Amino acid sequence: MKVLLVNPTGSSEEEYGAMRKASTELPQLGLAAIAASLLQNNHEVRVIDMNIDQHSNDSLLGHIKKEDYDIVGFSIYVTTLRRALLLSKMVKQQMPEKTVIIGGPHVTLYPDDAFSEDVDYIFLGEADHSILELIEYMNNGNGEAPQITGLLKRVNGEFKGDTSTNLVKDMNVLPKIELDKMYDLSRFYPPVHIRGKKVMNVIGTRGCPYKCTFCAVAEINGVKLRKLTPENFIDQLEYFVKQGYDSFIIYDDTFTIDRKRAAAIAKEILARRLNIKWNCFTRVDLITPELLDLMKESGCYHIMFGCESFNEKTVQKLKKGFTVEQSYKGIEMTNKAGIMAASSFMLGLPGETKEDMLHTIHEVCRLPFSTALFPIFEPYKGTNIYDDCKNEGKWIKSEFKNNLLTDQEEIWVPDTCSREEIEELAKYAFQSFYLRPGYIPFLFKLLYHLPASRKVRFMNAGFDYFFLSRIMPKKYSRGSRYR
Ligand code: B12
Ligand code: SF4
């Protein structure tokens, strides 16, 4: 079969607005995993990232016609749902014989959002194996509803099949993801602040046992942690090192969740003399000084935490499973180990007053963070907090949007303050953090390690964001990801 897999992102401008020069585009690993399974089984596959490959909706349609794919698949995040459904409609209108399939985190949580006459199959959960089962089913004559875990088929206008979420039992049996066989890797670009000349993203675990109320990972990838062995994980890194990559973003939700494994990975990086730089995401309560030292020695220079707030009642309400005190300690420990600490802080959470948010912002500015993000909270369907939001705020029509690409007109606002106030606080937080004199040493450190081309991008992005977006707010809007 000839299969096209599409990441239907908007352009950098749509998604990042004034921050587009600081934008990131790295290979989407979900599609890459499916492509790897297909390639291993001798199917023809092409993966398109609409932003990177610079495809408009029409040019994508032209490409599908020209290449005559049998199956066209779209990966859906909450932000890309609307575009994926529009593209499905365009495909079906012009080429009804094509099989349109849909999968990804958002439809795993909310399959009904993709119940459309333009979609033939919906995959719930991880499709590494089930994509092959679908092809076998299609080759075998396409009966009523397939008996494949997590696969729904449109039959007479209704979706039928198995509604459970498909989770791969053992990541180690999956084929190696040879990204260079699927994408033109030279066209991707990493976040501006990442060290190293050539940067690649990798993932070595799936699932998370924690129950943070705003997060959907447990729903999407399950509560059971599945992991590549340190050897298999390092093989993945080494594959790229041999191609000249010297820097990695490890996208595991919580890299140090298994501290023994994290230490084994660091040791293996040193043993194989990979000489790389890397950064990861983890929790403040899952690090120790010894582990951090080892990570630093093996090239880790930056860790992204999710402290979320410096108000104890909020952190407990979010069921983060740690205390504010542990956040303070974790940040101190990370800095002591010589690793830069970054964190995200959501503004406009249910129950948080303006004073609570100001307290968090002032604490963030006081502490040694190299990067701080202040996204405006949005309740996503499928998370526990979504229910809290019904009692502690309301959805209103507003000139502010949730996500540019979802076209969702209503936004959620807490009872405690207005959206205008939260927008103001978000601006205030960014300015207070990045434009204070105390940030200068961090800025120099960040810039010092960047290759020249990215230094220019970094400075450009800052200028657009802090200056041009103020004097020309229409032209330099903040985009869907940095609202
Ligand atoms: C890495 C990551 C990113 C990276 C992606 C970059 C990249 N190039 O990889 C970045 C930082 C850019 C990002 C951005 C965003 N992300 Co994000 N991200 C993740 C993260 C941590 C890992 C995703 C991943 O690579 N998983 C590993 C792969 C193998 O799994 P997968 O992608 O789920 O793919 C499997 C299945 O879903 C399925 N599948 C996927 N696509 C398709 C397509 C077809 C046709 C089929 C059949 C199957 C299928 O099969 C795959 C293989 O098993 C997840 C958390 C998580 N653990 O899922 C959040 C997560 C997916 N992100 C999330 C969100 C909300 C966002 C943003 C909207 C945040 C924001 N406001 O800016 C943006 C949206 C980006 C966009 N363009 O749409 C949410 C999604 C919730 C939702 N309802 O959609 C998650 C679940 C985190 C959370 N807090 O709950 N993200
Ligand atoms: S926020 Fe992180 S630790 Fe919490 S459930 Fe999500 S992935 Fe797990």
pLDDT digit string (tens) for 323-339?
A: 999 999 999 999 999 99
Same domain, 194 and 151: no
* 108 sits in which H/E element: helix 105-109
CB 299 within 8 A of CB 337: no
Q: What is the pLDDT of residue 330?
A: 98
Q: 58 is in which domain, residue-wise?
A: 2-161
Same domain, 267 and 344: yes
Output the domain CATH number for residue 242.
Answer: 3.80.30.20
Same domain, 206 and 132: no
Cα–Cα distance for residue pair 381/406, rounded to 1 Å: 13
Count Cα atoms within 13 angstroms, Cβ side, for 239.
15
Same domain, 292 and 238: yes
Tokens of 146: 């397939």
Same domain, 197 and 292: yes
Choose which residue among 23, 75, 179, 213 to substitute to test ligand 1 binding: the one with the highest number of ligand atoms within 8 A of its C-beta.
75
pLDDT tens, 49-93?
A: 998 888 999 999 999 999 999 999 999 988 888 899 999 999 999
CA of 300 relative to ligand 1 center, distance in Å: 23
Same domain, 372 and 281: yes
pLDDT tens, 227-239?
A: 999 999 999 999 9
Same domain, 97 and 203: no
Which residues are CB-neighbours of 63 under 8 A, at least 6 positions away?
4, 48, 55
CB 284 within 8 A of CB 329: yes
CA of 77 relative to ligand 1 center, distance in Å: 6
* Helices 324-336 and 289-297, axial angle in degrees (round to 10): 40
Within-domain flag for 207: yes
10-residue stretch averages of pLDDT, the chain, 483 residues long: 92 66 84 97 95 91 97 92 94 98 95 96 98 94 85 96 96 94 87 89 96 92 96 96 96 97 98 98 98 98 98 97 98 98 97 97 97 91 87 86 61 94 94 95 90 82 74 57 40
Cα–Cα distance for residue pair 17/176, rounded to 1 Å: 35
Listed residues 120, 146, 161: the one ending a domain: 161
Within-domain flag for 184: no
CB 316 within 8 A of CB 285: no
Same domain, 150 and 209: no
pTM of the model: 0.93
Cα–Cα distance for residue pair 129/142, rounded to 1 Å: 18
Cα–Cα distance for residue pair 159/470, rounded to 1 Å: 48
Same domain, 215 and 307: yes
Within-domain flag for 305: yes
Residues touching ligand 1 (Cβ under 6 Å) are: 5, 9, 24, 26-31, 33-34, 73-75, 77-80, 101-106, 108-109, 123, 126-128, 131, 201, 203, 215-217, 220-221, 251, 253, 380, 481
How many domains, the chain?
Answer: 2
Residues touching ligand 2 (Cβ under 6 Å) are: 208, 210, 212, 215, 217-218, 253-254, 283, 306
Cα 283 vs. chain centroid, distance in angstroms? 17
CA of 384 relative to ligand 2 center, distance in Å: 12
Output the domain CATH number for residue 108.
Answer: 3.40.50.280
Within-domain flag for 482: no
Within-domain flag for 356: yes
